[in-house]
Amino acid sequence: MKYTTQMDAARKGIVTPQIETVARKENMRVEDLMERMARGAVIIPANRNHVNLDPEGVGEGMRIKINVNLGISKDCSAIEPELDKVRAALDLKAEAIMDLSCYGKTQEFRKRLVEMSPAMIGTVPIYDAVGFYDKNLQDITVDEFFDVVRKHVEDGVDFLTIHCGLNRHTAEKIKKAKRLTNIVSRGGSLLFTWMEINQAENPFYEHFDRLLDICEEYDVTLSLGDGCRPGCLHDATDACQVEELITLGELTKRAWERNVQVMIEGPGHMAMNEIPGNMMMEKRLCHGAPFYVLGPLVTDVAPGYDHITAAIGGAIAGMSGADFLCYVTPAEHLRLPTLDDMKEGIIATRIAAHAADVAKGYPGARAWDDSMSKARAALDWPGMFDLAMDPVKPRQYRESSKPEHEDSCTMCGKMCAVRNMNRILEGKDIQLDD
């Protein structure tokens, strides 16, 4: 029996290699996974042309996955440094990489990325359109926008971020809303500008079926972008954000009718108390489709530390129903992240994802923490390092400050609580003095 997409296969009862792999990774019955895929609650982004993909599931009952943004720009157009970041991101176990390239040899970078990465790959084609055609944004035609989309999927991209929900009606609300930060989505702002100058509808909204044709042909997942995501706490959960979300829910149903897999992108900046409500609202308005969030960043006043503000929000979001976390680095709002910035962002986001998995009771999540606790109780330093999310940093800390006694550290020395409890319970003398 033939199938067009992973969703189509699940609906027809066909077990694809990708479905089999994800079921094994998630310790889930194939039948349960396929039932969730059939109703759109789980996606497996897997472009037919991404031949070395190691597929992952995103959505209901899955372990929370993380995404890493990178790519070349006009100010930083060298390909090799970005590919070094790709290698590091894969080493740090990122499940997805989004190529946000917007200038230079974007197709060369994209092709090399797909070729080298077993992680799923996403792109935002509108970023690439301006540089690719080397013309003013307003002069790009509808056909040219869709031609760039097709080039991306032909190159093997697994999911596409397209800001389909920012239509002219919502754009009018943006102009009246008196937001503090207006539109902070790069893709959303480009489409808003194109619509305003040309007095035309968003081509991806107006010609949504044309987009679905491309996605269905290559089995590409559609990541419905949040052009109205809040760029500050003040703008969170306003009418613009909610109206766009309602539109995305309508588009989700249209995509599912074509067996095209969908996930929904979400905020943004948001106070902690608003996050659970936003997660519930997305799931209700978008019919249980997987939710992909940037942060949310829970305060606006920590530039240089936004990997922390985002990790706080990401943990709450994940615990409350988000399925996919986009990393945020210390360089957010400030510059293109360096390799070190990227590493800090990945670890912070992985911490948030794992903390949420523990809180949700994901099978096996707490066992990792219990193993670390046993190693700590035994003062098994090599064991602790092997279990660490990032083994390198704790080893460096330990090596940089050697204690007098191996069963302690330079913080407490012989007063180490763990050391002394182990000794006294074993019937040994403690001897705190030298």
Q: Residues within the annotated binding site for [4Fe-4S] cluster? A: 409, 412, 416
Residues across the chain: 434
**CA–CA gap between residue 316 and residue 346 (Å, rounded):** 17
Task: State the binding site.
Answer: 69, 98, 127, 163, 185-187, 226-229, 265, 269, 292, 333, 409, 412, 416
Say which residues have a Cβ less than 8 Å from residue 106's Cβ, sequence separation at least 6. Answer: 71, 72, 99, 128, 131, 132
CA angle 70, 233, 347 (to 5 degrees): 35
Burial of 396 per CB tally in 10 Å (0-12, 13-18, 19+): exposed
- Using left for φ > 0, alpha for ψ between -120 and 50, and beta otherwise, residue 104 falls in left
- The two tokens of residue 284 are 């209700």
* CA distance linking residue 132 with residue 116, whole number of Å: 23
Determine the Cα–Cα distance for residues 219 and 99; give it in Å rounded to an integer. 19
- The amino acid at residue 123 is T
Question: Is residue 394 within 8 Å of residue 401, measured between CB atoms?
Answer: no
> For residue 337, what are its two tokens?
């992240």
For the annotated binding site for substrate, the residues are 69, 98, 127, 163, 185-187, 226-229, 265, 292
Binding residues for Zn(2+): 269, 333
- How is residue 318 written in tokens? 């994940």
Instruction: Determine the Cα angle at 15 with ends 12 and 19, to 5°.
Output: 115
Using CA atoms, how far apart are residues 25 and 19, in angstroms rounded to an integer? 10
Which residue from 417, 414, 408 is spatially nearest to 431, judged by alpha carbons? 414
